[in-house]
Chains A and B, each alone.
Chain A
Amino acid sequence: MSAIAATATRTVARDRAVAAVDTRAIAMKRRGRGRGIRTGISAAVIVLWCLAPFYWMIVTAFRDVGYTYDTAFWPTHVTFDNFTTAFSTQLGNHLGKALLNSLFIGVCVTAIALIIGIFAAYALARLDFRFKGILLGVILGASMFPGVALITPLFQLFTNIGWMGSYQALILPSISFVLPLTVYTLTSFFREMPWDLEEAARIDGCTQAQAFRKIILPLAAPAVFTTAILAFISSWNEYLISSQLSSDATQPVTVAIASFAGSQPHQEPYTTVMAAGTIVTIPLVILVLIFQRRIVAGLTAGGVKG
């Protein structure tokens, strides 16, 4: 997950490249058709490779359960039953509730990580202090720890304080990997901010806090928003820890899907699982499309002013 941080950070550089891209576009037009065709084919291969399994998930989601292993490429035995079944609570599945749980947990984790992370990121990006190196090391190292090792000690802790199966028992561990990601991403964003403006505001009589709130935060809003999306997605996708620490009432959607029950013991309802997978993935895909534009727009705005 930590690597997401790097993407976001790296995308900071993108705005700097906007000018370069423009030059490139002109250069491109001058080039031969041969390369254009090769690029086209390569692009087609990439799209096919990335979308084919996703397509198969959707096709299967619309297929009658009795024909689960039909291998026709196009939709056959089309039915909406799997979606109805996915949301039905009759077999003890609670996909609807799980979606709300994931949303709630994701929003809480993102909010907490952002609020706390902004302060740390500000300090790391802006202030000069001792142990800064250690701090960066600890935060990076935090995202290095194998998740399996967290589960049982946390379980004992949560059992002792009566938190088992509660929302906070799911929110806290998620913070263990979302917070480092947030701090890291924000630090990189903050390093890029036009701090001269803050200095100027202070000369005009603002305190450092005021300067930060009135000048820097509005400028940083797109960066914070981008970080928020990354944080939300990584919390939404978390599985291992939630699978152990959630109860039926607080179960997030990844766990709900992995433990989807069929009408019979031993029966794995693949068509329903694929339907549920489609339901879970579609919002993310939409989010990601928006997130892409957001990042470019946000960074360009910051870049022009900086």
Chain B
Amino acid sequence: MSTATEVVGAPAGVPRAPRTGAKKKRRGETRVAIYLVAPTLILLAVVIGYPVVSAIIMSFQKDAGLDPATGLFVAGGFAGISNYAHWILQQCLDTSGNTISCPPGNLGSQFWNATGVTFFFAVVTVALETAFGVWMAIIMNRTFRGRGLVRAAILVPWAIPTAVTAKLWFFIFATSGIANALLQTQILWTSDEWASRFAIIIADTWKTTPFMALLILAGLQIIPEDVYEAAKMDGATTFQQFWRITLPLIRPALMVAVLFRILDALRIYDLPAILTGGGGGTGNATTTLSILVVDQIRQGFNSASALSTITFIIIFIVAFIFVRVLGTNVVRTQQAQQKGAAK
């Protein structure tokens, strides 16, 4: 907590008014700003703040249990941290109330597996999307006939709604579908452990790479051509130019793009849900955290609330580490880039 307050006091990315008379001006502007920002904050409080807080409250309640006498459900009461222990420590209760390790087939047993799968997807898809994105952006940054066509084409996957994308790839990856026909294979894309994971990775890469490419392209376009000309004069190879000039210059834009994508990828739901139903392998090869939450919602909402809270915290920690270790600064990058571009 102390970190938070301490650093908030010095918002590095926000421009400051000049020192003289700044305090007075600032107080006046703060009053105006409150009115301007209030509608946004109120709306966000209703649509995000409210669900977050009520989910946290519910996560400390037990799910309804059965009254043996009547066969009817009765409210579970206060749960303490047992819902959290259920997921993180994989603790279940047996019929006589003893704590046991959750058996396979109980959702609790899948928490760490789902966490692993989620991170696996996030790392692999974002790595692939970044690599292909850089490549696509470099191609699009060149001048050639039909460049407009390429730019239009790469926006198509991005424009198709994810729900439609998932249906489309499910159809493509059907056992008697076009993917197997093209490859002359009989791969079980929706059930084999690794094939199902790759089916999702391929679909996600198809859908999102264009988007990364556009982000990176914008970063590329602010690199002045004379930098390359100078490098060429110094005898730098194409690879050296890429490694020494392009990459360092687009790094800030790249890091922001990667951060956004990772946070997005950690929430992945539609594709695995529709493509594989979270199945594959021994049954859970593609179960991500979001899928686990939705599965749990039908078995008990309070426990699901605990899981969604954990998911949020995990995503939060990733963002935190990203910012701390890699020094990604969304706000500052934004400004630096614009200032750089303005010159």
Size category, A interface: 35 or more
Bound complex: CA A306 to CA B311 (Å): 44
Q: B265-299: which have CB < 8 Å to A?
A: 267, 269-270, 274, 289-290, 293-294, 297
| Distance of A125 from chain B, by nearest CB (Å) | 10
Decide yes or no whether B201 CB sits under 8 A from chain A: no
The answer to whether A127 touches B330 (Cβ under 8 A) is: no
Q: Which residue of B lies closest to A16 (CB)?
A: B341
Interface string of A188-231 (1 = CB under 8 A from B): 10011000000000000000000000000000000000000000
Bound complex: CA A264 to CA B260 (Å): 42
Nearest first, the 4 closest Cβ-Cβ pairs linking A and B are A133-B11, A10-B218, A17-B221, A149-B308
Which residues of A are interface residues toward B (Cβ below 8 A)? 1-4, 6-7, 9-14, 16-17, 20-21, 23-25, 27-28, 36, 39-40, 42-43, 46-47, 49-51, 53-54, 56-57, 60, 69, 71, 116-117, 119-120, 122-124, 127-136, 138-140, 142, 144-154, 156-157, 172-173, 175-176, 179-180, 183, 188, 191-192, 233, 236-237, 239-240, 253-255, 257-258, 270, 273-274, 277, 280-281, 284-285, 287-289, 292
Bound complex: CA A75 to CA B219 (Å): 40
Decide yes or no whether B326 CB sits under 8 A from chain A: no
Decide yes or no whether B164 CB sits under 8 A from chain A: yes
What are 17 residue pairs bridging A and B, where the CB atoms are less than 8 Å apart in the complex?
A: A6-B257, A21-B221, A46-B136, A123-B32, A124-B37, A138-B41, A144-B315, A144-B316, A145-B48, A146-B267, A148-B294, A149-B311, A152-B304, A153-B50, A192-B342, A273-B167, A288-B158
Dominant SS among interface residues on chain A? helix
Decide yes or no whether B16 CB sits under 8 A from chain A: yes
Interface string of B128-167 (1 = CB under 8 A from A): 0000000110010011101101111111111111111001
Which chain B residues lie closer than 8 Å to A157 at the CB level?
50
Size category, B interface: 35 or more
> Given A46-B154, A53-B157: A120 and B39 within 8 A (CB)?
yes
Which chain A residues lie closer than 8 Å to B215 at the CB level?
3, 6-7, 10
The answer to whether A134 touches B39 (Cβ under 8 A) is: no
Bound complex: CA A134 to CA B4 (Å): 10
Which chain A residues lie closer than 8 Å to B58 at the CB level?
153
